[in-house]
Structures are given as structure tokens and as C-alpha cells.
Amino acid sequence: MSFFSTRGKSCVTASQAILQGIAPDGGLYVPAMFPAVPPERMTSLIGMSYEERAVVILKRFLEDFDLREIEEAVNAAYSRERFTHPKVAPVRKLDSSTWALELFHGPTLAFKDIALQLLPHLLRLSAWKNGEDREVCILVATSGDTGKAALEGFRDVPGTSCTVFYPLDGVSDVQKLQMVTTGGENTRVIAVHGNFDDAQTGVKELFGSESFREEMSRKGKTLSSANSINLGRLVPQVVYYFSAYADLLEEHAIAPGDPVNFCVPTGNFGNILAGYYARMMGLPIHKLICASNRNNVLTDFFRSGIYSTHRTFFKTISPSMDILVSSNLERLLYEAADRDGELIATWMRQLKECGSYSVGDQRTEWMTDVFWGDCADNNETMREIRSRWEQDHYLFDPHTAVAGHVLREYRKYSGDDSPTVIVSTASPYKFSADVLAALTGDNAGGDPFAASEKLQEITGIPVPEQVKKLRDLPVRHTAECDRDKMGEAVLKAFE
């Protein structure tokens, strides 16, 4: 199967799309068509392990990878040392029509692990298939979660290295501790004197700099990106939608062919888009419910057909969803625009130049046939954490709680009581102070370790090892640099 750029005519193989990350015309790679998974294949997923299900789905997209390569990559990515739950992405019943799909049992306790544990293997294979024998050097700018997930994914993967830039005073204590204590011989973590935008701009400049690329090439290295627009991050996420459906079949909660809704806490639109791809492949999804926090640009978009970034940016208690430009939405627009790359290029230019674009009533109606958007503010999020705990004895993290609140609103509004899976994107222990405050009104002085212990006392849910051990791990990364010296810092780190 080949992959097209959303903005033009580029046509590449899966391995080329993964290696390039973004298309030369600035577009994102999308599959030429959606490979169908027929109903009998769907029911055959019952009883399979997560790894086996992943192979079934991934091989439909990764046609220039052979079966053994995919199997080896999947088994390495989802091993017991890396994912603490034997089912990798288990489904938990909350009430008679609601389930949680837990995507937080990986090394960094957030859903990004599912893709970022697999991506390094796919990237290494892609380099090899395309005759790229230089070391693939990943550069990441992070506001917190992506950096650590990328570091853990690429740690000690042969032929790759991973360098993360974070804003010195712009990440939480836990996030910083998670990054600077990372092990592995091929990981580098550098604090930038500046904010997240400085770090992000700096990384983009390095990607665009001919002289920097040449210098890295002389050292035997080529640059690549682990950003969520990389196709290699999208396809692993399609798997868990199928897996959740198979688990509901296995529990006899649904019968083959029954429609199910998924409610997804959304930022960059990568997670929920994978659900849309699963639906296009034949998974019986009725609605995809797009849940936003106070940065509700997507809620407004699905209601008006107008995407506008002329709005205030809010810092919320669900920071991984604090985003105004949802990059992966471009892939949905491509389908809504009947795959008209020129139209997409025009909208994206309008977004860049004027901060907004409008897709028109007809296309909006077409999208909202499947998507429903709503949002929750901090208070609603806190209330949801508490009421879900009181009603169902299930503990949401703040991101997942946004989805929980939005699902209640959706049901009130639509009367649709179809079985619904809430996609649970992070462990509550990653945000223990806020979660504790939601339950008790007290945040333990904001100390994540004290808050975690308190939460365990109240809920009986054990604190994950990944959080506990953070307190004692040695700090391994202390490099800092000025915002205009990031290239030098990378070169120095590789001396």
C-alpha cells in the first residue's frame, strides 16, 4: 500500500513515510486506502494476545515490512518489562454501558507509550529498508509527556539516539525528574533557557538547517522526528480500538457487529483519529466523542465548521491537552475534502496567515455524522474525578476525567445509550496532587510523592513503581543551553 501527502501528490511506501515523518510539501502521510478488516477477521481477534492483534492490524498498513519483522518489533515493544499489565491495553467495566480502555500501563504511565515503544523499531527497520546506514538521531522538543515517552522508547535501541529539549522552568517536577533520570547509552536531555516555544522553534530550525544536517552527517548521523504526525505513531494506535472491541466481544458485553462509541480526551487529534481509521477499516464505531478541556478549539470547530486560533491559551489541570493547533486534524480534513490536497494546502495557509479557516456547512455535517465535540473546564473535571470514584470506585486522571464529563453531557443531549468506551490516557498517579485535591480538597502541598501515598491510602490502588522509584534514581542529565545554542549543544552531546 502507498501513502499520500495530504497537501499534494507525494506518494511513498510505509517505511519511507515513517523515515520522513512529514512530507516534503509540509503535508501528513495518509494511507492510499483503508484496508478492510472483514467481520470474520474481527471475531478472530477474540482470545488473541494484544501482540497478536497488533500484528493482524499493522501488517495491513505496513506492506513493505515482512511478517517476521512486524512480529519481532511488536514483541519487543509490548514485552512484560515494558508494559506491566499482561493485556497491555485492558478494558475495565465502569457501569452497565461504560468501559475504560486503559492505555497507561507502559513505562511512562501515559498513552503515548503505546506508539512510542513501537516507533523506534519501525524507524530502525525503515532506515535499513531505504539504505540509510547512518544513525537515526531523533530530536524532540517537549512540554513534558512526549519527551519522556520518546526517551523510554528509543533507549538502547541500536542504530538510533534520542535527544530531548525541555524548557528549564516549563515542566512539572515529576516530568523533569522522569526525564533527567533516564538511563540508556543513547539518550540525551538538555534544558533550554527559555519557554516551550523557544525549544520547539529551536528544534524546527535545526531540522531546517543545511549546515547542521551536514555536520551531523559527517558524524554519521541523520535527523528524524518522533512527533505525533509521524505515520509510525498513528498506526500503532489503531490497534487498541480493535483490541477493545474484541475484549467487549470476549466479555459478551456486545454481539459481533454491535455499534460502540469511543470517547477520547483530545489534544493533537492523534488518538481519536486512529479511532476514525479503525472505523474506516470496518470496526463498528457509531460515534467518536471528541473531549477537550477549556482549550476547546475542536468543540467550536465541530459546531461551526470554523477553526480559529484567535483565542486565549489556558493552562489547565490536563496539560497534555493544552493545545490550540491540532495537527492531526489535517488528516480528517483530507477525507472531508474528498482528498483534495490543494484545498487542504489552502486551508493550512489560511490558518498560518490569518489564524483560521472555514470548511463549510456540508463538510461539517459530514464530519459530525461521526464526531461529536464537547468540553470540560477544571471544575467539571475535578467533580468528575470525585463522582466517578464515589459511584464506580474507579479513579480517573484529569485528562480521562475530561472525557468522562463530556460523555455524560453527550448522553444527556443525545439519549444515545450505546456501549461506550472512554479512552483512559494516563495513570492518576502521574497527576496525584490534583487527583487527591479532587477527592479530598487537599493537594498535599503539591508534593507528588506525599500526594501519591495519600491517594494509595484512600483508594487502595497501589502507587506504580515508576513513580515511587523516581525519588531515588540518580540524576544523569544536567546539560543546559541558551536558546540560540541548541545545535552546538547537540554536537557537544555526541562528542
* Sites of contact with ligand PLP (CB under 6 A): 110-112, 145, 228, 265-271, 320-321, 399, 425-426
Shortest distance, position 225 Cβ to ligand PLP, whole Å: 15
Nearer to ligand PLP, 90 or 267 (CB): 267
Strands 11-12 vs 3-5: parallel, antiparallel or unpaired: antiparallel
Shortest distance, position 398 Cβ to ligand PLP, whole Å: 8
Phi–psi pair at 31, nearest 5 degrees: -65, 145
DSSP 163: E
Query: Rounded distance, CA 148 to CA 408, Å?
Result: 32
Shortest distance, position 351 Cβ to ligand PLP, whole Å: 17
Nearer to ligand PLP, 27 or 144 (CB): 144
Shortest distance, position 328 Cβ to ligand PLP, whole Å: 7
Query: Rounded distance, CA 478 to CA 494, Å?
Result: 15
Shortest distance, position 271 Cβ to ligand PLP, whole Å: 4
Query: Rounded distance, CA 409 to CA 375, Å?
Result: 9
Question: How far from the centroid of its chain's Cα atoms is residue 488's Cα?
Answer: 30
Nearer to ligand PLP, 115 or 490 (CB): 115
Structural contact between residues 137 and 224, judged by C-beta atoms closer than 8 angstroms: yes
Question: Which among 336, 422, 321 has a CA at the least distance from the CA of 375?
Answer: 321
Strand partners of residue 193: 482
Crossing angle (nearest 10°) for helices 361-368 and 329-336: 110
Radius of gyration of the chain (CA): 21
The residue type of 128 is W
Cα dist from 156 to 89, 142, 370, whole Å: 24, 20, 41
Question: How far from the centroid of its chain's Cα atoms is residue 123's Cα?
Answer: 17
Shortest distance, position 298 Cβ to ligand PLP, whole Å: 9
Nearer to ligand PLP, 10 or 320 (CB): 320
Shortest distance, position 95 Cβ to ligand PLP, whole Å: 22
Shortest distance, position 326 Cβ to ligand PLP, whole Å: 7
Shortest distance, position 321 Cβ to ligand PLP, whole Å: 5
Nearer to ligand PLP, 161 or 268 (CB): 268
Nearer to ligand PLP, 249 or 421 (CB): 421
Nearer to ligand PLP, 266 or 378 (CB): 266
Residues 6+ apart with CB under 8 A from 413: none
Query: Rounded distance, CA 64 to CA 121, Å?
Result: 14
Nearer to ligand PLP, 223 or 426 (CB): 426
Q: Which helix (H) or strand (E) holds 98?
A: strand 98-102
Helix (H, G, I), strand (E, B) or coil at 359: coil
Nearer to ligand PLP, 167 or 265 (CB): 265
